Structure 1
Amino acid sequence: MNIPKVSLIMTTYNSHENFTKSIESVLTQDYPSIELVIVDGGSTDGTVEIIKKYASLIENSGDAYKNFTIVWISEKDDGIYDGMNKGIRMASGDVIAVFNDEFTCTDAVSKYIRTLNEGDYDAVHSDLVYADGDTLKRYWHMPNGSIHLGWMPAHPTLYIRREIYDRYGLYKTEYHSSSDYEFMIRILRDGTLKLGYIPEVLMKMFYGGTSSAGIKGYGRNTKEAYQALVGNKVAFPALIIICRIIRTLWQYVIALRMQLRKNN
């Protein structure tokens, strides 16, 4: 059986509470070969001490965490996408994913890799939810579709073979909040990437961050998304943005319905 090493790129800066939740979630995974690549931007809130604690735990635990290895660095960077690029360069895995949130089950990584292998895909993605504690805010349900109709996989669920980064390059740091969108446009625009899809919520994303920080943040994100489409010479970028906005609004509506059913 093919068991590729999975490198999870974890970027953090002065967010020790969420970081602790994320790394605890990783350590629940049953997949037999996970490398944690932690890139800290020079935190001063105790995050570094937490990283050291978990690094020692993993390295000295014997069989308890034998499925995991860890590499990490703490130094000033030029933002989250610079941190992601550093992490990818540090990674030794066959499959790479950017992870800063929580898994919804202990076999999430196993499901991604099983689907990736069985379909001989270049990458695989799934559904996710945005949540503020126990409150659902947004439900990202995106079966494979067309980028020309505003479709896009959820980046936090995207597990990509290393050679895709080698072929297409890393994240462009001139983008403040949409470099992940630009990267996905870049790898999907010509239709040659073999992409698998798991119709299941495998990731719970912390609500907030650069791409969901209120109306102002969403406006900046949308402007950068338009620039990404134009920069990659994708036809009818304005129409795509309109479709993307409609899909986003519908995700909030679905999450609201789910939350109401949950409360009742």
Structure 2
Amino acid sequence: MTFSVITPAYNSISTFAETIDSVLSQTHPNIEYIIIDGASTDGTVELVQGYGDKISKFVSERDCGIYDAMNKGIALATGDIIGILNSDDFYADEQVLREVESRFVADPALEALYADLVYVDPAKSDRVVRYWHSGEYREDSFERGWHPPHPTFFVRREVYEKYGAFDTRFKIAADYELMLRLVHRYHIRVGYLPRVIVKMRLGGESNRSLANVLHANLESIHAWRANSLSFPWIGFWAKPLRKIPQYFKKAR
């Protein structure tokens, strides 16, 4: 089983080495690492080039945003399983891809897998600020404001081929729309790995400011409508409320 790990990047010099190293240090032997850069000017390009042929595919050109970059990576991917890791995130340890593979091997009908995630201090990546315990998926989970953390979301390549990749009309919540479409609308078979596999720095685009939080929530409503689904208003309020306990939970 081969993994394609895709990292979109733009002017990411301050964090990107930790991201790249976390992928290259995986003990899984079959990894296609694809980096899609948006024509960075801060040294990111030179950083990636310094890794030489350890990077399977590298593209640096102007794009139309992070989800456009992800789509470019998906189009280039040849692996059986595709995962996306942003340029300020990193895998929790060297065994992540092996454990993800073991779940897909144990259940050949599995089409996607997600896990737990922790948010870390942007300046001190060893300090956990928030713990996202995903929990098992239920049929009404999205209606109750739930969704899996996208950086932990691994998908079989044929699922993207069948149902499409990211809808770039969504500027902040295209990852939410994708998971809603695949899991809730099309009912792909999804599994849960109950452990932290990704560490994510606080300050992502969707929660960088109050305006972005509101924009993301509005896009979440549009995501339901774009998929011809009736939006559950209880989920609108439940979605942000679900985040509160994450600041008090301990990673296991």
TM-score, normalization by structure 2: 0.91
Distance 1:18 1:240 in 2: 34
Give, in angstroms, the shift of residue 21 of structure 1.
0.9
What is aligned with 1:244?
Answer: 239
Question: Structure 1 CA distance, aligned partners of 2:34 and 2:52?
Answer: 11
Residue 175 (structure 2) pairs with residue 165 (structure 1):
no
Partner of 2:83 in structure 1?
97
Aligned to 2:37: 40
Match of 2:15 in 1: 18
Alpha-carbon displacement from aligned partner over 1:67-126 (angstroms, at most 9, x marks no partner): xx5111100000000000001111111110111211111100111111122122101110
Residue 190 of structure 1 deviates from its aligned partner by 3.4
1:50 aligns to what?
47
- Alignment correspondent of 1:141: 133
**Counterpart secondary structure, 1:211:** helix
Question: In the alignment, what sits opposite 2:72?
Answer: 86
Q: How many residues are matched?
A: 242
Give 1:207-218 correspondences, 5 Å limit.
207-218=202-213
Could you tell me which residue of structure 1 aligns to residue 60 of structure 2?
74
Pair 1:124 & 2:124 matched: no
Deviations 1:162-198 (A, max 9, x none): 0110111010111111000000111112363111111
The CA deviation string for residues 195-247 of structure 1, in whole angstroms up to 9 with x for no partner, is 11111011101211212213222111111111112222333432211111111
Tell whether the 8 Å contact from 1:131 to 1:205 is kept in structure 2 after alignment. yes
Separation in 1 of the partners of 2:128 and 2:178? Answer: 27
Q: 2:21, 2:231 → 1: CA distance?
A: 43
In structure 2, give the amino acid aligned to 1:169. G
1:65 corresponding residue in structure 2 = none
Q: Distance in 1 between matches of 2:10 and 2:187?
A: 36
In 1, distance between residues paired with 2:185 and 2:78? 28
Return the alpha-carbon distance in structure 2 between the equivalents of residues 30 and 230 of structure 1.
42
Pick which of 149-158 and 188-197 moved more.
188-197
Query: 1:230, 1:237 within 8 Å by CA — same for their partners in 2?
Result: no
Q: Deviations over 1:32-86 (max 9, x none)?
A: 1001000000000111111111124x2xxxxxxxxxx511110000000000000
Q: TM-score, normalised by structure 1?
A: 0.87
| Backbone CA RMSD of aligned residues | 1.5
The share of aligned pairs that are identical, in percent, is: 37
Letter in 2 for 1:90: L
- Flag the structure with larger Rg: 1
- State whether residues 131 and 206 of structure 1, in contact with CA within 8 Å, keep that contact through their aligned partners in structure 2: yes
Structure number with the higher helix fraction is 1
Gaps of 5+ in 2: none
CA contact (8 A) 2:183 2:190 kept: no
**Secondary structure at the counterpart of residue 185 of structure 1:** helix
C-alpha distance in structure 1 between counterparts of 2:207 and 2:243, whole Å: 11
Separation in 1, partners of 2:42, 2:52: 18
Checking the alignment, whether the CA contact within 8 Å between 2:3 and 2:79 is kept in structure 1 is yes
Asked if the contact 1:77/1:83 (under 8 Å) is kept, the reply is yes
Q: CA deviation at 1:151?
A: 1.4
Query: One-letter code of the match for 2:94?
Result: T
Inter-partner Cα distance in structure 1 for 2:70 and 2:186: 25
